[in-house]
Chains A and B, each alone.
Chain A
Amino acid sequence: MIVAEQKSLDEIKSLIGSANKVLVVGCGTCVTVCFAGGSREAAIMSSSLRMSSKLDGVPRNVSDVTVQRQCEWEYLDTISKQVEEADIVLSLGCGIGVQAIAEHFPNTWVVPGLNTTFMGLPLEQGVWAERCAACGDCILGLTGGICPIARCSKSLLNGPCGGSEDGHCEIDPEIPCAWQLIYDRLSSMDKLDVLMELQAPKNWQTSRDGGPRKIIREDLRLVGEEE
């Protein structure tokens, strides 16, 4: 899932500026499960903004609504009336949600309420960790299902660096060394020979190095919807 965390109320208030009618838009998918921007967080944000603005002496009309997914036009269509009536939209979606609102409602000023942080998983309730960097050329089949791009601080592809100490990373002793994890896992599964296979240099063009990415599936496109 995409993991995000809320910006401070002060930063959000400065983004909102002098707008009076504020619509807080939550998202019912990733940011709901990471407790950053679901319907409950949208209601908390809306209540906090109403109170804070009132105390500042500039009461605002703040309401909230949550859509199933901010990153799909169909769901955004369901709130078009509320969006049009608002002076500003505070999106509690990830960066994709904010951009989807901006793209779908060209006359609406939208600001982000979250800092989109990474793609990861919950280790326990309240703790999330990064697991994927979306490099576009997955090598998990060579590393025992542990990603060195996302989990090694240097994204090394050929073993640990000199900063690996007692299985942990030099940048933070709380961070496990990804290559230690890879070695331990392959070793426990008697598959260390995988590491002996020579690999060609990774093609980073599939990552951000090739510019903004796009996937087109001709078999799924509908004739009437082609750009």
Chain B
Amino acid sequence: MDLDQSVIGLTSNEYVFEVERRHVGQFAAAIGDDHPLYTDEEYANQSAYAGLIVPPTFPIAMNDGKTEMPLALDQRRMLHGEQEFLYYKPIRIGDRLRCQIKVSDLYDKEGKSGKMQFLKLDTEMKDETGELVCISRMNIVYRSLAN
């Protein structure tokens, strides 16, 4: 069954994600990203970020592994087509960010194999004062299942 416009605006529960040094180190090591901005305090202090930060794709790892999606989706139909990160404030080790997943858009497009649906899922991350730190935006192609 296709999704309809009523899913726009649905949200997940809010969860708190704590940014831990070891986790950030493991994430950077897996990529092989050895930028001193994640480890060298002196270097980082002199940078545009004025302190240590995390790798730019780290927000993808900021899931607690148990928060349910705001809507039920059939995994077999999902294709992660595009990913975007919008950065508002630096993410630092020790941050405790309040995260919530939102359905921000849904639209249809006519494709070669029939109608395809495009779903935008935003994970909004806010600091303890409620200020927006980052949005991790996942663009999902929701395909029709082959008959």
Whether A and B are associated in the same complex: the answer reads no
Which A residues are closer than 8 A to B by beta carbons? none
